[in-house]
């Protein structure tokens, strides 16, 4: 059954996740206002949507107030990879904190339901495994990653205070590693790094000994989860983990990427970055219970789609191949 059409604001809408979300919401018959400052988002990610009469694109930074009329808000605006969020850490914190304040203020003024794209990084380097939503985390408040980790933790605080103080309808999603087409090729994330290195025949850089673990969710599954959370009833606010609980080591991922690309790349090992978590795996019991959601796309299928995107859009041919 088709949902009642709404006017929906997506901040960070020209980014990796945002562009897929805008596309899906338009397909559901909604009007979409996509807002992005293009720090990490790209106009090319939403170029195919520009001729849709229900789509509007606005260049705007969420650290500045925004006055629009909308029914729902997905707040996705914030650089999400270490390379980008450490480039200007003060601005990263401002985006999470001032951006949350501005979007919550907008939601309060217009009576909109609002969803915060939080992160598994609120758990820091976890001391429990897998991570459940009632775990408070093990986060370094003054490290190189703190601008992102603590910015997102503060945003969650603001969301729940607006909920308690102003009875605002909120939803909070803690997003675990997500991958797929439209990832930024220089975002420094492990999937994009490995695929680009493999396609170009360069050595694949593994940090540490590669024994650290991650769980990778394909973008279409993640978008399903965000929409299910926004539309969830019974006063369910979250926070709720959205990610794929299938865990594998970074070295295993590197070997899978080499196999999927047919690359001759060899692995090289570099020191582990500061505060890099050793384990990351979501417990998605709450998402299954309240949203009826769990990921469906197998890693092999998702990697093939992602490799095809990078091969077509970004990778340089291997010399002498």
Structure tokens at 319: 């010399």
Q: Is 148 a catalytic residue?
A: yes
- Which residue's entry shows tokens 């707040």? 75
SS3 223: helix
- 55 with 22: CB under 8 angstroms? yes
Structure tokens at 72: 């729902």
Which one of 123, 148, 162, 179 is the catalytic residue?
A: 148
Structure tokens at 279: 């384990």
CB atoms within 10 A of CB 219: 22
The residues that bridge with 7 in the sheet, in sequence order, are 31
Structure tokens at 306: 């992602």
Q: How far apart are CA 245 and CA 257, in angstroms?
A: 19
Q: Which helix (H) or strand (E) holds 284?
A: none
Q: Is 101 exposed, middle or buried (0-12, 13-18, 19+ CB in 10 A)?
A: middle
Q: How far apart are CA 195 and CA 112, in angstroms?
A: 39
Q: How far apart are CA 152 and CA 168, in angstroms?
A: 19
- Which residue's entry shows tokens 């986060």? 139
> Dihedral of CA 60/65/69/72: which sign?
positive
Structure tokens at 280: 């990351």
Q: How far apart are CA 72 and CA 11, in angstroms?
A: 11
- 10 with 70: CB under 8 angstroms? no
Q: How far apart are CA 18 and CA 10, in angstroms?
A: 7
SS3 201: coil
Peptide bond into 130 cis (omega under 30): yes
Active site residues: 148
């Amino acid at each position: 059954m088709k949902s009642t059409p709404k006017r929906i604001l997506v901040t960070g809408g020209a980014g990796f996740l945002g562009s897929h979300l805008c596309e899906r919401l338009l397909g559901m018959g909604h009007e979409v206002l996509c807002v992005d400052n293009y720090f990490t988002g790209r106009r090319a990610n939403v170029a195919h949507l520009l001729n849709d009469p229900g789509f509007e694109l606005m260049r705007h930074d969420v650290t500045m107030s925004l006055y629009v009329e909308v029914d729902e808000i997905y707040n996705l605006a914030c650089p999400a990879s270490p390379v980008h969020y450490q480039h200007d850490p003060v601005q990263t914190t401002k985006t999470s904190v001032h951006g949350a304040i501005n979007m919550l203020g907008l939601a309060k003024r217009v009576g909109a339901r609002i969803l915060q794209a939080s992160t598994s990084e609120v758990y820091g380097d976890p001391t429990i495994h897998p991570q459940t939503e009632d775990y408070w985390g093990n986060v370094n408040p003054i490290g190189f990653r703190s601008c992102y980790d603590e910015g997102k933790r503060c945003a969650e605080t603001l969301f729940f205070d607006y909920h308690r103080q102003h009875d605002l309808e909120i939803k909070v999603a803690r997003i675990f590693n997500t991958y797929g087409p439209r990832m930024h090729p220089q975002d420094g994330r492990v999937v994009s790094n490995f695929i680009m290195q493999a396609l170009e025949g360069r050595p694949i850089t593994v940090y540490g000994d590669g024994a650290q673990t991650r769980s990778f969710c394909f973008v279409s599954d993640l978008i399903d989860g965000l929409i299910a959370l926004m539309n969830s009833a019974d006063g369910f606010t979250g926070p709720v983990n959205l990610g794929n609980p299938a865990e594998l080591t970074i070295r295993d991922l590197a070997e899978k990427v080499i196999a999927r690309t047919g690359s001759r790349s060899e692995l090289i090992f570099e020191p582990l970055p500061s505060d890099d978590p050793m384990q990351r795996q979501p417990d998605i019991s709450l998402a299954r219970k309240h949203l009826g959601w769990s990921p469906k796309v197998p890693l092999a299928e998702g990697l093939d789609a992602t490799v095809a995107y990078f091969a077509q859009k970004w990778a340089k041919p291997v010399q002498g191949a």
